[in-house]
Amino acid sequence: MSIIKHAIITAAGMGTRLGLNMPKCLLKFSGTTIIQHQLELLKDIEDVRIVVGFMEEDVIKVVKSIRKDAVFVRNPHYQETSNTYSVSLATKGLKHPHIIIDGDLLINKKSFLKFVQSFDGKNSLIGITNASTDDAVYVEIDHNDNVIQFNRNKKNKYEWSGIVCINNIIINNKDSYVYQILEKHLPLQAKYIECSEIDTADDLNRAQHLWPRYFT
């Protein structure tokens, strides 16, 4: 992972669609929170930044118990801003390649390692996964394994994973979602990564049945 110097986890949102009144990154699977699971994956990255907002004290407490050198980026406007605003705060001034991860993802360790090892540090790399979530952003892939389109309506085999390795793309807050910024730079290389996003009760139910494959 030496190419990637920085990692950003977006964990500021309220998770209103899930309806549990808690940050999704603090959901537990067999006693392990999602944020703990993600920090373990990022243990070799020297600079890890967590964007916090909703119930930030709880998130900070858990993260500090795992990684004392984590940097916390506060998004005080988490109720009215999107994840691109959070990412723009955390990536401001970054000049080295970095990875962005949604804070509500369960990620298979072996698949994650293959993903980051395939990143050459020159061209941004988009993580794609099997389409399964209730609110999927589908991706269309060409014969060279490049993402050529994102869409919410045309169902496809793969969806946007919420994980991307970035180089030379500035994340601003003019768009609501990170994929909408990436869309302006297509085609971009795609790489499969096994993960599950938890946005809804149905997503959580699926994850509760599948979590062992992500924690081994």
The span from the CA of 214 to the CA of 181, in Å, is 28
Structure tokens at 19: 């309806």
Asked if the structure places residue 206 within a domain, the reply is no
pLDDT band per the 50, 70, 90 thresholds, residue 52: very high
Asked if the structure places residue 114 within a domain, the reply is yes
Asked if the structure places residue 85 within a domain, the reply is yes
Asked if the structure places residue 211 within a domain, the reply is no
Asked if the structure places residue 68 within a domain, the reply is yes
pLDDT for residue 180 is more than 60: yes
The span from the CA of 107 to the CA of 195, in Å, is 4
Q: Which residues, at least 6 apart from 113, have a Cβ–Cβ distance to it below 8 Å?
A: none
- Average pLDDT, integer, range 125-135: 94
Asked if the structure places residue 90 within a domain, the reply is yes
What is the C-alpha radius of gyration for the chain, rounded to an integer number of angstroms? Answer: 16
Q: Show the DSSP H helices in the chain as ranges.
A: 34-41, 56-66, 83-91, 109-117, 178-183, 201-210
| pLDDT recorded at residue 147 | 98
**53 in helix, strand or coil?**
coil
CB 125 within 8 A of CB 115: yes
pLDDT band per the 50, 70, 90 thresholds, residue 213: confident
Asked if the structure places residue 212 within a domain, the reply is no
pLDDT band per the 50, 70, 90 thresholds, residue 2: low
Domain containing residue 39: CATH number: 3.90.550.10
pLDDT in tens, 96-120: 899 999 999 999 999 999 999 999 9
- Average pLDDT, integer, range 176-184: 92
- In the chain, the largest separation of any two C-alpha atoms, in whole Å, equals 46
The model's pTM? 0.95
Domain count, the chain: 1
Q: Show the domain range for 184.
A: 6-200
- CB atoms under 10 Å from CB of 29, counted, come to 19
pLDDT in tens, 146-166: 999 999 988 899 999 999 999
pLDDT for residue 1 is more than 60: no
What mean pLDDT is reported for the chain? Answer: 93
The span from the CA of 178 to the CA of 85, in Å, is 9
Asked if the structure places residue 13 within a domain, the reply is yes
